[in-house]
Amino acid sequence: MVRVVLLGPPGVGKGTQGRRLASEHGWALISTGEMLREAVARRTPLGIEAQKQMDQGLLVGDEVMIGLVNERSADTDAAGGFVLDGFPRTVPQADALDVTLTRRGHALDAAVSLRAPDVELVRRMSARRECPVCKRAYNLVSWPPRDGRHCDDHPDVDLIQRADDTPETVKRRLVVYGQQTAPLLDYYRSRGRLREVEGLGAMDDVYRALTRTLGL
């Protein structure tokens, strides 16, 4: 059982690696970006509110995000362990997570930072596509679907590009990461929780490094 946070800039592979880590070990994957995109698609009040920030590459408010994760992490499927992808993204969010876990008599096992240079992140995000049904991630260059267009597991479904993977928004998201999220590296380092993993290279190699650093 592991409670782990995946840290790192947009496009570094947190979603892909987190999905695999969670599914191979039977842990819950808590992806705040995915939860928000779901809310946007369903036009819920949260989705309508969050979309404004998301489309601009800005962060959704801490209070909303903290409430969302507090609720989701209390679900029964998260009792046996969870992988957080995309949360925390600010120091107040990290503080709130700490408080919540402590209150439940739990603790975070590790915060794993995935790293890659900005040029690589931009390249990846522009080629990134996902299946709107199963959320499986593809890359048109390095990890294309079999027929170049549809999800391998849903042959009738066209892959889509995320609304915030446009060049302008990608640039903004990288700036926001540097300003608001990168300080979390020191935050977790000073608490002895940080593990660093090279996010460049083949997906399987990154996954192996990730599991090794978690002692799995």
**Contact between 13 and ligand AMP per CB under 6 A:** no
> Is residue 171 flagged as an active site residue?
no
Known catalytic residue at 173? yes
54 touches ligand AMP (CB under 6 A): yes
Q: Is 89 in the site for ligand AMP (CB under 6 A)?
A: yes
- Work out which of 8, 10, 13, 199 binds ligand AMP, going by CB under 6 A: 10
**Residue 9 lies near ligand AMP (rule: CB under 6 A):** no
Regarding 170 and contact with ligand AMP (CB under 6 A), the answer is no
- Which residue from 11, 4, 47 is spatially nearest to 28, judged by alpha carbons? 4
Phi, psi of 6, deg, nearest 5: -100, 120
Query: Which tokens is 190 given?
Result: 């000073």
The torsion defined by the Cα of 82, 34, 118 and 124, in degrees rounded to 10, comes to 110
**Of 113, 142, 112, the residue nearest 125 (C-alpha):** 142
The one catalytic residue in 72, 124, 128, 195 is: 128
**What's the min distance (Å) between Cβ of 58 and ligand AMP?**
6
Longest CA–CA separation in the chain, Å: 49
Catalytic residues: 14, 89, 128, 162, 173
